[in-house]
Amino acid sequence: MTEAVTVTQDSFRSSVIDADQPVIVDFWASWCGPCKQMEPVLRDIAEEYDGRATVAKVNVEEERLLASMYQIMSIPALLVFNEGKKVAEFHGKQSKAQLTDALDSLV
């Protein structure tokens, strides 16, 4: 079973920017209800796209500088990276179809 990768400021470059496949980065917090609702969707995507895309999670409470760098003003915020560049951005609760549509154009 493939799971989301926890990413910190120290591992962001290697896990996201230098990744050899698309990455969805979930900026979240433990107290965020919509963030919790996104967990099963992101878990499904991580499993279905295993080997083709990565789901990464950034806890904004622990990684404030990283959240600030990407101007995260509300959560959940989901940023899609491909070849080191942000190519899509979603805010709030998203459907699985919206996220997989973004990934399908990249894989």
Ordered by start, the domain boundaries in the chain are 5-99
Catalytic position from the list 35, 46, 56, 67: 35
- In the residue annotation, 64 being an active-site residue is answered as no
- In the residue annotation, 32 being an active-site residue is answered as yes
pLDDT cut 70: percent of the chain above it = 99
Architecture of domain 5-99: 3-Layer(aba) Sandwich (3.40)
Residue 55: strand, helix, or coil: strand
Q: Residue 81: CB partners within 8 Å, gap ≥ 6?
A: 16, 17, 19, 22, 23, 25, 87
Catalytic position from the list 29, 32, 86, 89: 32
Q: How many CB atoms lie within 10 A of CB 99?
A: 24
Average pLDDT of span 10-28? 97
Task: For 42-93, write each residue's pLDDT tens digit.
Answer: 999 999 999 999 999 999 999 999 999 999 999 999 999 999 999 999 999 9
Threshold 0.85, pTM exceeds: yes
Average pLDDT of span 14-37? 97
Whether residue 13 is predicted with pLDDT greater than 90 in this model: the reply is: yes
